[in-house]
Amino acid sequence: MRGNEISGKESGEQAVTKRRSTKQNRRVSTSRQRRQQHLLDVKVRARRASARRLQKGFLVLSLLLILLSLLGAGLFGAQRLLNALFFANPDYAVHSVEVTTDGDLAREVVLRAAQIEDGSNIFAVNLSALEDRLRALPQVEEVDVQRLLPDKLVIVIQERRPIAWIASADANKTGFNYDGAFLVDRRGTVLQPKGSAPEYMTLPVIIGVELKKVTVGQPVDSDPVRAALELIRDCPEVLQSRFQIATIDVSKEYCLVATDKQGVPITFNPDELMVDLRHLASLLLYCEKNSKDLRSANLMAERNIPVVFNEPAVPAASPSPQPAAQATGSPQPQPTVRRALPVTRPAHKAEKADKSPGPTKNTHKKTKSSELKPFNG
């Protein structure tokens, strides 16, 4: 009985303890109140974070304003200092302009194109723009402008040098009219002739140019003319004085027919000028070694280049007894036609020597019809 009482008391005490613990752990606030409290805490933290960001933004903006103010004050002070020392200093006003040219360009023309005002500040002159204005003159090829402190400008001009004439297709060397032609420099820029200078009269003449499309001061827009100028520039380097060009006919466009001062026409390929010049050098060397007189050559052929030599006149063994024959004159020597360049193709020369010579007249006609016909144009 006593044991039952004790167990009953213990179970009662446990029940009381359980009720007390449940009452002590009960939450004071509800879930709704807790959500509201959480929202309030989040709003407070957000307000504090935005206030801190706003303070940082004001701080950065203030620093930027201070830096910009300092920079503006420094630039303003530097500008005032530079103006006082250089740009507004009367000691650096332009009072002298030296013009040096290698041609006949007048000083007044240069100063008018340069547009330099007397007394303007030397540092305020834009040298690049000044050089561009001077290069716009048709006679000027290169220009260099320099400042010489405190008050002097130096202009050095290299004028365009004409290397050839350009004329229409009906022009010829014997009756060439220089008044109706134009000069061109090495870059193809058209120049107005300056009178009848003696050094211009010996320049080569490029024949077959449409002068209606030519503008003074502008380059010639023609591929054959550019090829002819290239031939004029390269010919002295390769051939020296052995072939001096007098005229170049560009009317056919697919070829250049250059005639030297002895009247020997040579046909060139515009796309292979340097190769053709080397072939011509070999041909002229062959003529010198073998005492040959060249009459014409067509260098456009890649193989079996048509070459014509003048046959030397045979001196008479005894004077002719008939005076009438002397009055009519001796017949002109007939040209001898060779089918290939002997220097570049020596095997062909030996092969020709082994063949029995036929009649000169028939050989000339056959060679002319088979080799020279494609190049008559």
Domain ranges of the chain: 92-159, 161-271, 291-312+333-377
Query: Residues of the chain with pLDDT > 90: what percent?
Result: 37
Rg for the chain (alpha carbons), in Å? 49
CA atoms in the 13 A half-sphere facing the CB of 309: 18
Q: What angle do CA 186, 231, 298 make, to 5 degrees?
A: 160
Q: Looking at per-residue confidence, does 286 or 10 come out higher?
A: 286
The sheet that has 182-185: what strands, in order across it?
A: 190-191, 182-185, 162-167, 205-207, 245-249, 256-260, 265-268, 293-298, 307-310, 336-338
Q: Looking at per-residue confidence, does 297 or 374 come out higher?
A: 297
Which pair of structure tokens corresponds to residue 340?
A: 């290939």
Confidence at residue 348, expressed as pLDDT on a 0 to 100 scale: 39
Which pair of structure tokens corresponds to residue 191?
A: 């120049």
Which pair of structure tokens corresponds to residue 287?
A: 């003529």
| Mean pLDDT computed over 80-87 | 75
Q: Looking at per-residue confidence, does 278 or 321 come out higher?
A: 278
157 vs 263: CA distance, rounded Å:
38
Confidence at residue 74, expressed as pLDDT on a 0 to 100 scale: 86
- The class (CATH top level) of 161-271 is alpha beta
Which pair of structure tokens corresponds to residue 346?
A: 């020596």
Confidence of residue 154 (pLDDT cuts 50, 70, 90): very high
Q: Is 197 helix (H, G, I), strand (E, B) or coil?
A: coil
Confidence at residue 82, expressed as pLDDT on a 0 to 100 scale: 73
| Mean pLDDT computed over 255-271 | 94
Left, alpha or beta for 253 (phi > 0: left; psi -120 to 50: alpha)?
left
Q: Which long-range CB contacts under 8 A does 299-302 form with residues at least 24 apart?
A: 299/266, 299/267, 299/268, 299/269, 300/255, 300/267, 300/268, 300/269, 300/276, 300/375, 301/371, 301/375
Cα 219 vs. chain centroid, distance in angstroms?
A: 12
For domain 92-159, give the CATH superfamily: membrane protein fhac (3.10.20.310)
Q: 19-43 pLDDT, tens per residue?
A: 555 555 555 567 777 777 777 777 7
Dihedral of CA atoms 311, 312, 317, 320 in degrees, nearest 10, equals 70
Q: What DSSP state is assigned to residue 298?
A: E
Least confident of 265-274, 279-288, 305-314, 368-377: 368-377
Listed ranges 44-48, 125-129, 166-170, 190-194; the one with the highest mean pLDDT = 125-129
Confidence of residue 158 (pLDDT cuts 50, 70, 90): very high
Confidence of residue 356 (pLDDT cuts 50, 70, 90): very low
What average pLDDT does the chain have? Answer: 77
Confidence at residue 192, expressed as pLDDT on a 0 to 100 scale: 80
The answer, yes or no, to whether residue 52 has pLDDT greater than 70, is yes
User: What φ, ψ does residue 164 adopt, rounded to 5°?
Assistant: -165, 165
Q: pTM of the full predicted structure?
A: 0.59
Kindly provide the b/e burial profile for residues 141-179, where b requires at least 16 CB atoms within 10 angstroms of the residue's own CB: bebebeeeeebebebebebbebbbbbbeeebeeeeeebe
Least confident of 31-35, 65-69, 117-121, 166-170: 31-35
